Amino acid sequence: MRLLLLLALSSPALAQWGRDTDPGMAKQMLDAVEGDLGKLLAGGDPAAFIDKHGSERIEAVKRFRNPELRVLFERLLAHPDWHVQHRGLLALESLGDAAAIDAILPLLEHPHRRVREKAAISLIRLWDGRRLDLASVVEEDFHVTRCLDALARRAGGTLPIVVLAKEGILGGSGGLRLVPYTESATRFEPRTNAKGTPPVATRWVWPLLGWGEEEVIDAPLRAFGEGHAATDKGACLDGAGVYAATDGVVRSVAPGEIVVEHLSNRREVLRAVYLHTGSVVFVEPGERVEPGQLLGTIGMGFTAENGAVFAHLEYRLGPPAPPEYDPERFLSLWIDRTTPLLPPLRPLHASLRSAVREAESGAYGKAASLATKARDAAEPGSEAHADAVYLLGHLASVPAKGITRARRLRDAGYPGDALRDLNALGAAEEVAAWRADAAFEKALKGEAKVEAAERRGDAALFRRLLSEYGDTCLRPRIEERLR
């Protein structure tokens, strides 16, 4: 592991920021800034500090907790590098000073969605009860929207802020107070609640904003497999949000770990484990959560709370007992399966209320018929006519997208679900072509056997099924269970 860290640190991606993937180099950064930070406590100029250290030492600066440094951290919010702004937000929220709220609010409209996300989370942590108006904030990103939902709940007094452990802060030279780097993990007893059955999953989403879009592309993240029953994402994004992948119940929370239980649409109990998370969470054990609900954050790198590793999310998913599922493969399939074929619609004319309701329920053909009637009845050039044309334009793309998605679902080993989706779309020609394929009919009849094997978790049975159905679209699904 240490060799991988050293190799990663030599890459250009890590030369500017994200340099605390190795606590050895982190100590060097601390030594480089302590003297100048001490001068700030004595009334030094924050601008001079930023000019001297820029983004080169931000991974060390974010660990200091002197209240007098709030002015410096606020100055970092105007830095041209968004990564520095992101770390500045983390430092501000860690100080716990609500006086920073006014400096943070404008970042809800920052061009970079990771900064908008972090600004919302920082505001959640710091909110002091003042009135909040988010009506003017226009947000299109799903995960950031869920952060804003959490912020609105915080302002309304309904969002829990659960502090599981306090930061370990040590005194440094010149009166500095910092969160030290640690290479040893600490075991925390989780808060648990086993009551309540998880609701059936309705929609799956990625548990991290920008899943797979790594900002530190050469960080030593591990993929699923070869003894690692999880996948690592979000390198060096200390304090970024982690989200419920679907409907579920929170089973336990602890510094460094959040566990959520889900129920798939096949009535299979799945347990999602979020590792290396922070010591402040926004859910209680036993709480029901919705797809994309903000649970907590990635813990700060090399702290006791995050397992004493560099900042990232380690995500596990599978039944309570092995085998685990590869999150990349499983989530990709079910996100594709459950993402609405229609994008979020703008507010439409009242004459289209029924058409919108049918569209949002998946009755796209009926929605198109109602929208066509509304268009024909409206005056050309009117708002009602324009809105009907807008809705019909979106509905026109649904069949092709739906057929493509059904093919992917079939080819992943779910012919029954795929066929039901086609029938719901009214894609008669595609249905007829599938039913004329002998291999598809064989897979359709054999799917019940695969489902029974999944419930039993019997590897020997899966091997027999692979021999029997390896020439059909069931093969990828069977092979997944044999990994």
Residue 337 placed within a domain: no
**For residue 480, what are the contacts with CB-CB under 8 A and spacing of at least 6?**
325, 326, 329, 413
Q: Do 420 and 392 share a structural domain?
A: no
The answer on 198 and 121 residing in a single domain is: no
pLDDT value at residue 10: 35
User: Average pLDDT over the chain, rounded to whole?
Assistant: 90
**Do residues 8 and 156 share a domain?**
yes
pLDDT at 88: 96
Same domain (yes/no): 359, 275: no
The letter for the amino acid at 288 is R
HEC profile of the chain: CHHHHHHHHCCHHHCCCCCCCCHHHHHHHHHHHHHHHHHHHCCCCHHHHHHHHCCCCHHHHCCECCHHHHHHHHHHCCCCCHHHHHHHHHHHHHHCCHHHHHHHHHHHHCCCHHHHHHHHHHHHHHCCCCCCCCCCCCCCCHHHHHHHHHHHHHHCCCCCCEECCCCCCEECHHHCEECCCCCCCCCCCCEECCCCCCCECCCCCCCCCCCCCCCCCCCCCCCCECCECCEEECCCCCCCEEECCCCEEEEEEECCEEEEEEECCCCCEEEEEEECECCEECCCCCCEECCCCEEEEECCCCCCCCCCCCCCEEEEEECCCCCCECHHHHHHHHHHHHCCCCCCCCCCCHHHHHHHHHHHCCCHHHHHHHHHHHHHHCCCCCHHHHHHHHHHHHHHCHHHHHHHHHHHHHHCCCHHHHHHHHHHHCCHHHHHHHHCCHHHHHHHHHHHHHHHHHHHCCHHHHHHHHHHHCCCCCHHHHHHHHC
Note whether 151 and 185 are same-domain residues: no
Which has more confidence, 38 or 322?
Answer: 38
Which of 331, 364, 396 is the C-terminal boundary of a domain? 396
Pair 379, 435 in one domain: no
Q: What is the pTM of this model?
A: 0.87
**CATH number for the domain that contains residue 17:** 1.25.10
- Which two three-digit tokens encode residue 44? 């030094």
Is residue 334 in a domain?
A: no
Least confident of 125-139, 364-378, 401-415: 125-139
Query: What value does the mean pLDDT take over residues 38-43?
Result: 90
Q: Is residue 202 part of a domain?
A: yes
**CATH at residue 266:** 2.70.70.10
Structure tokens at 304: 């006791």
Please count the structural domains in the chain: 4
345 within domain boundaries: no
Q: Is residue 308 located within the same domain as residue 424?
A: no
pLDDT tens digits, residue range 64-114? 999 999 999 999 999 999 999 999 999 999 999 999 999 999 999 999 999
Residue 304 to residue 301: CA distance in whole angstroms: 9
Residue 341 lies in a domain: no
Better-scored residue on pLDDT, 423 or 26: 423
Higher pLDDT, 226 or 3: 226
Query: Is residue 418 scored above 90 in pLDDT?
Result: yes
Structural domain contains residue 375: yes
Mean pLDDT is lowest, of 82-96, 355-369, 464-478, for: 355-369
Q: How many CB atoms lie within 10 A of CB 23?
A: 18
Among 10-19, 324-333, 373-382, whose mean pLDDT is lowest?
10-19
One domain for residues 272 and 256: yes
> Taking a C-beta distance cutoff of 8 angstroms, is the pair 298, 307 a contact?
no
Q: Measure the CA–CA gap between 374 and 446, rounded to whole angstroms.
A: 45
| Final residue in a domain of this structure, among 368, 396, 424 | 396
Note whether residue 129 is domain-resident: yes
- Examine the domain organization and report whether 9 and 111 are in the same domain: yes
Query: Over 60: is that where the pLDDT of 325 sits?
Result: yes
Q: Which amino acid is at 216?
A: V
pLDDT of the residue at 407: 96
- Provide the pLDDT confidence category of residue 1 given band limits of 50, 70 and 90: very low
Look at residue 332 and tell me whether its pLDDT is greater than 80. Answer: yes
- pLDDT value of position 16: 57
The answer as to whether 167 is a domain residue is no
* Mean pLDDT, residues 330-359 taken together: 91
Range of the domain at 155: 2-160
pLDDT, tens digit (0-9, with 9 covering 90-100), for 165-177: 999 998 877 789 9
Ramachandran sector of residue 210 (left: φ over 0; alpha: ψ -120 to 50; beta: rest): left
Residue 202 shares a structural domain with residue 155: no
- Are residues 474 and 425 part of one domain? yes
Please check whether residues 271 and 146 belong to one and the same domain.
Answer: no
- Asked if 5 and 23 count as a contact pair (C-beta separation under 8 A), the reply is no
pLDDT (0 to 100) of residue 344 = 79
